[in-house]
Structure 1
Amino acid sequence: MRRVPLAVMLTLAAILLSSCADNSPSPDTENTAHEAASWPYPFVVVENRVYVIKNDENNDELVAKEKIGEQIGIVQEKYEYPRDVEPSSLIIHSNYLEEGTKLFTIKDVDPSVQIAFEKSEGVFVKATEKSAVPKTNE
């Protein structure tokens, strides 16, 4: 009977053991960064209505302070990853806006179509209801 060299036996054992290892992603892996980028767009949800936020914030997306109406709420939860979302019609949540961000109506604009949020002191940016956002060919 032939003897198999010890080095060959150890190599085969290492290959077998590594194939049985748990390769599921952990919070410390590259997959975490990929998941953060997996949201299709920045949004805020108010009363089950999804408002899309354009994050290029050009002048078209800014709202003059005098056009700001009444405050309709604040962001209560910010979700970092899609798996974190626990849908609730009672909670105003976002994947982009920080907790505590104030949300407002825009004068002379139907709030079911657009609302505004206060990005910084006195600077307001609009968010448009998802179905009202024009489709783009990307």
Structure 2
Amino acid sequence: MMKRFLAAIIISLTLFGCSAQEKTNESLSFEFVSWDNKMYVVSDGESVENDKVGQSIGEVTEFVDQEGQNYQGTASNIFKEGTKLYEIKGTGTNLGIAVQKDDGTFIQGVLSDEWLKENLELITEQEISVPVGK
């Protein structure tokens, strides 16, 4: 009887630890576009007006559907292959790029280093958990 009780506790702790880690990983994930060996974070809240959109710099060549997946070239985990990428007038690509959405509007992709600086406090406040039993 005692062995069954201990086994049930160990299994419960293991399952709880795995589910907590999965939830934490999801909360740290973000939507991105990778271009020219740089990572840009994309947010629907950062629209780019048509008159600010500059020259075409390329398009998404690979859709990334798994976290940690290796990819080459221009990739995204939110935009499909063929999505057009542009410079933003008056802003270097070292700060951001414009991404054309399916409806023809543009949103800004912010270089991940800049995004991390702005959001570091939010990330460090995330609850981190360590799985038990692995």
**What letter corresponds to residue 117 of structure 1 in structure 2?**
V
Distance 1:119 1:113 in 2: 19
| Deviation readout 1:77-123 (Å, 9 max, x if unpaired) | 0011125x2243xx100111111100000000011110010013430
Give the 3-state SS of the residue equivalent to 1:105 in structure 2: strand
Normalising by structure 1, we get a TM-score of: 0.63
Give the 3-state SS of the residue equivalent to 2:101 in structure 1: strand
Count of residue pairs the alignment pairs up: 98
- Equivalent residue for 1:30? none
The answer on 1:97 being equivalent to 2:79 is yes
Question: Which residue of 24, 31, 51 maps to 1:42?
Answer: 31
Give the 3-state SS of the residue equivalent to 2:87 in structure 1: strand
C-alpha deviation, 1:48, in angstroms? 1.2
Distance 2:77 2:28 in 1: 8
Q: Which has the larger radius of gyration?
A: 1
Question: Which residue of 78, 81, 98 maps to 2:63?
Answer: 78
Distance 2:60 2:26 in 1: 21
The structure with higher relative contact order (CA 8 Å, sep 6+) is 2
The answer on 1:129 being equivalent to 2:129 is no
Distance 2:70 2:28 in 1: 15
- Equivalent residue for 1:64? 49
Which structure has the highest helix share of the two? 2
Runs of 4 or more consecutive aligned structure 1 residues displaced over 4 Å after TM superposition: 36-39
Judging changes above 3 Å, is the alpha-carbon distance between structure 1 residues 40 and 92 closer, same or farther for their aligned structure 2 residues?
same
| Deviation readout 1:6-57 (Å, 9 max, x if unpaired) | xxxxxxxxxxxxxxxxxxxxxxxxxxxx8x9577111111111000112xx2
Judging changes above 3 Å, is the alpha-carbon distance between structure 1 residues 38 and 76 closer, same or farther for their aligned structure 2 residues?
farther
CA RMSD in angstroms comes to 2.2
Give the 3-state SS of the residue equivalent to 1:120 in structure 2: coil
Aligned residues with identical type, % of pairs: 30
Distance 1:107 1:50 in 2: 19
